[in-house]
Structure 1
Amino acid sequence: MVTNAEDEIRALTEETLREAYPELWDGAPTAVRDLIHTRVQERLPEIAEEITETIGENIGELLDINAMITDHLDENPELLNRLFLEVGDRELSFIVNSGFLIGGLLGCLTIPLFLAIDSPYVLPVAGIFVGYMTNWIALKIIFLPIEEHRLGPFRLQGLFIKRKPEVAEEYAGIVADEVVTIANVAENLLHGSQSDRTRKMVRESIRPEVDRAVGIAGPAIRLATGSEQYEEVRETFADESVDRTIEPLRDPEFNEERSEAIRDLIARRIKALPPRDFVGLLRPAFVEDEWMLILLGALLGFVAGWIQLAVVTAA
């Protein structure tokens, strides 16, 4: 990151000092300007380490990962859909496949009902009930029971919850690659709800570097330009440095190198979640469309009822 930031910081140093002291900076010998640049570059590792440590010590107050993920998914619904489809692929397939078994078993019960009630509408109406109950039962099997229950040799628990290790890896992979990237974390730190606090920490770390970079020329510059303007330069340099620090973090190679660590961290956190919190990862997406899945089941059951009636009548 320090290597990637060198060009940005050099350009920032040049712009800030030329804007503040155009005549003084342009008239300064090349050796003097190079010396100032060298002083700044030499201090970059220490500056980066100090900023990183300061932010790391206060990361819980500066960054809300859950809110960050939620906000990012709200702003990118196509990613939310993909997350839902990829992580919940097995569960969606179960709903489709279980329809044949559960629907078939419930459908068998409609035959005695049809024979007992002499009406052509019995099978279509019963089909609505069968289709509705088929998808309703499938959804319950996916998420319930939340806590594990033993019944002899059988372990009863929601299918989604049983897949926690696998789901954790899938979820972490998508989130680490596209949501909690280093660039997005930096963006959130510098432009999120707690950005004022982050910027203040970064500014406090960078301000002294202006004095160190200028070195023995500092008193002369203060005398020539006035302390007030000198302080403005320090503030400008610090403020613009905050925004410039995000640029190297957008580097794809830099993000790819660190995505594996983020993926492992998220996967471990998800695997450590208690069952009820784990269900909260995917359950809200199902709840949002649950009525549609159940309604679709009812409509398919209605159609199946008419087909069943046609077959019985033809026979």
Structure 2
Amino acid sequence: MSFDPAQALRLARETLDIEAAAIHGLQRRLNDDFARAVSLVLNASGRVVVMGMGKSGHIGRKIAATLASTGTPAMFVHPAEASHGDLGMVMPIDVVLAISNSGEADELTTLLPLIRRMGAPLIGMTGHPQSTLARNADLVLDSGVEKEACPLNLAPTASTTAQMALGDALAMALLDARGFRAEDFARSHPGGALGRRLLTRVMDIMRSGDAVPKVSPDATFGELMREMTHKGLGASAVVDGDAHALGIFTDGDLRRLVETGRDLRALTAREVMHANPRQIRDDALAAEAAKLMEQHRVTVLLVQGQDGRLVGALNSNDLMRAKVI
């Protein structure tokens, strides 16, 4: 067996050209059945049940996962398993999306009369509009391609790419019609980076209660230093009697103050603090806190509640521990 790098590159480029052409072909053939399929799913009170055999089954699993993560409840049922009891997962209130390039997969076509008798609407995704699947479907999504990218024109390649692209198009049309937002996407992806950015609130990660360093305006410089050292935030708030933040003093302020040569023991918190400190609401997104820190080049933010009182504090390390940044 000999390997020809030039031949490999030629075949790779040819494959991409064929699959790109397959997707462009879908675009030209989209018709009112696609819009009716979107409406059918939107008005269904159940789920989208996706079915497919072989490579179409693998694509079906991906389509079901994409639908479910973008606001359309969906599940995959294997046609062979459906014939042995799993068809009980399908209800009349569901919409069945059956995928088969040929439209003649035996395990799938066997189920079509049963699905029709059940009363569940059936959307067929097939490359052959005259196939058994197409004739039994309420709506047909044409996923046909002129040829496979396989040099032998046998292995499902361009046809499965077309199926996946058509499934993505259906999911995106449904997403838009439902008014699905980034926050909704995050709720179905709580373990991912997007979920953390869009779901984590300042109150979820801030230091609160006794963990918040704070002193009165009349506190001595020594008291201020002890509070900062004990709480380990790298700063301390200066608050009035009603717990409103008047100012802040940070480690950076300390270094700059030492360089002045002043007698620190004679100073009070009011004299060394920065007035009107940067603050953020406790119900704000943690990602907003990260943006505020970056914008103003600070590493500590004070947190206020709805009444404007100091309820917490956080620094960049807190954001990193929460994997917000």
User: TM-score normalized by structure 1?
Assistant: 0.25
Give the number of the structure whose residues are more often strand, by fraction: 2
Give the number of the structure whose residues are more often helix, by fraction: 1
Higher relative contact order (CA 8 A, sep 6+): 1
User: TM-score normalized by structure 2?
Assistant: 0.24
